[in-house]
Chain A
Amino acid sequence: MICTGCSCLCNDVVVNGTRIMNACIKGYRHIAGAKENRSEAKIENRTVSIDEAIEKAIEILKNSRNPIIFGLDTTTLEAQSLAIRLAEKLECYIDDNSSFCLGEIVEAIIKKDVPSTTLDDVRNKAYVVIYWGANPYTSLPRHMSKFTYYPRGEKRPRGYEEDRYLVVVDVRKSETAMLAKKNAKFLKVEKDDELVDSFLLAVDGKAGKFGSEVGVILKEMKKSDFNVLFAGLGLKYGISNMDRFFEMIKKINEKVAPLYLLPAGFHANMRGFNETLFEKTGFVNKYSFREKRSEKEFEFMELLKKECVDAALIVGTDPLKSLPFEIAKKFMKIKKIVIDPKTSLTSKVADVVIPSAISGVECGGKMVRSDGVRFKLEPLEEKEINDVLIFKKILEGV
């Protein structure tokens, strides 16, 4: 089956009774733990039937002046399309975790502003592999062994031993940084901007703060016509100007050697949401169907901060876990509808909870891997009530 535990969408996972082969601990918990902490249909903490919960959700959405649909990163493309249609019908805001995750990077890739590639090509061709502000050990455990550094590929038959060069950039010595031993470099940075500047200077033959290290890395890149940089959340939050980072990638491509950009680490189908919304509107996230544009102010967090929304339909995500306290307090004040197969902090405080099926385990559909490759899911069972059915009913109701 295809594991939907993270955006690697590992396609070699085998379920043999209670034995789950080849999946990492995240995948194992995702698949084996499917039956634990299930959510129940609830209205204001009172157990109800699913139809009643859906009715109540419709009522809240109808009565709301400014609702937002948020999340959708763990559901299928089919459900995402329906959610976008619902947002269009309600003329409301729609956003996902990518607006405070790696949305900008996915946007640049989808718009072809920066060169990108697929993980299969990385396995077969990549020489220099850079993880910047990413620790795949915790976010995407199999990333390095399945796609990037360790496997042997068509043009890299000796794999990590001789045919690859690993660079890890982080503010701390993460687990991934520990693996930077032979043919590798760990760059400990305080300010990510300084490293971007060093690369930009080095390309023009000048030396910045990390002059010697950057020189070595660029020299390694020149040895190959295929290098790749994986950008993680550490980069997103460590860098003050993302455009300068994109400029760095472009300049390295023009003057040194081909360097492709890929996002590292997020929910299973976050890229799917970005692509689906892009096809429909030309924007990847934080979109308002009323104003027909995407703005920084339309980010879920910004809308909550400025108290611009009065109801939220949360799908398969747990914002309460990651919202800063001040914003979480404002989130508590609005009406909250949660569609989720599992209980979460958010579902505990929600006005309406609609239980659903786990995409990829209990229902099928399509998802997009972090590199843009599409996969048809191979669920273990097909539950009747899933995100698609719930959205269809809500669409009918409003």
Chain B
Amino acid sequence: MLRISKFMKFEAEVVVARDVIFENDSLILVHPNLAKIYGLRDGNVLEISRGDKIINLRVKISEKAPENGCLIPNNIFASYLCDTQNFKRFKAFLELSDSKATELEEIIRRLRE
């Protein structure tokens, strides 16, 4: 069966929280409920966009994420997407991507631009 959801771009809430184990990884934790709706699996890459900012993060399905939402560890990738008003919690658009996860050096390059 063709998974239509695969081509869908959807909005979800993202919470930023510390994580001892995945602290600096380019990773997004997705709640199983959300993963089921959009057919996401461990290891998929999601393109996350907020305004004109776009990054790719690897999916990890986890109940630690808020229900129907996602969690990004407290790292430079989370900081890249956030702003002062929405520092630890914001909404972003998510879409499956075929690209690789964004690397740290890429963010530093964008900072230097």
- Residues of A whose CB lies within 8 Å of any CB of B are 25-26, 100, 135, 137-139, 141, 171-175, 233-234, 237-238, 265, 301, 305, 320-329, 332, 345, 348-349
Contacts and interface: CB of A to CB of B under 8 A. Distances in A.
Nearest to B89: A237
Contacts of A321: 75-76, 79
A25 B108 contact: no
30 contacts: A25-B20, A137-B20, A171-B89, A172-B66, A172-B67, A172-B69, A172-B71, A173-B63, A174-B17, A237-B87, A237-B88, A237-B89, A265-B18, A301-B84, A322-B74, A322-B79, A323-B79, A324-B79, A324-B83, A324-B84, A324-B87, A325-B53, A325-B80, A325-B81, A326-B83, A327-B84, A328-B79, A332-B112, A348-B108, A349-B111
A374 B26 CA distance: 38
Nearest to A299: B84
Which 9 residue pairs of A and B lie closest in terms of their CB atoms, listed nearest first? Answer: A172-B66, A237-B88, A138-B18, A325-B80, A138-B20, A324-B83, A324-B82, A321-B76, A139-B18
Contacts of B76: 320-321, 345
Contacts of A332: 111-112
Contact of B15 (A25, A137, A172): A172
Contacts of A174: 17, 64
B19 interface: yes
B84 A141 contact: no
A347 to B, nearest CB: 12
Interface of B: 15, 17-20, 53, 63-67, 69, 71, 74-76, 79-84, 87-89, 104, 108, 110-112
A237 B15 CA distance: 11
Nearest to A319: B79
Contacts of A348: 108
A188 to B, nearest CB: 8
A171 to B, nearest CB: 5
Contacts of B88: 233-234, 237
Contacts of B20: 25-26, 137-138, 141
A171 B79 contact: no
A238 B66 contact: no
Contacts of A135: 17-18
Contacts of A327: 84
A25 to B, nearest CB: 6
Contacts of A237: 87-89
A42 B38 CA distance: 48
A137 B87 CA distance: 21
Nearest to B75: A321
A327 B53 CA distance: 14
Contacts of A238: 89
B95 to A, nearest CB: 20
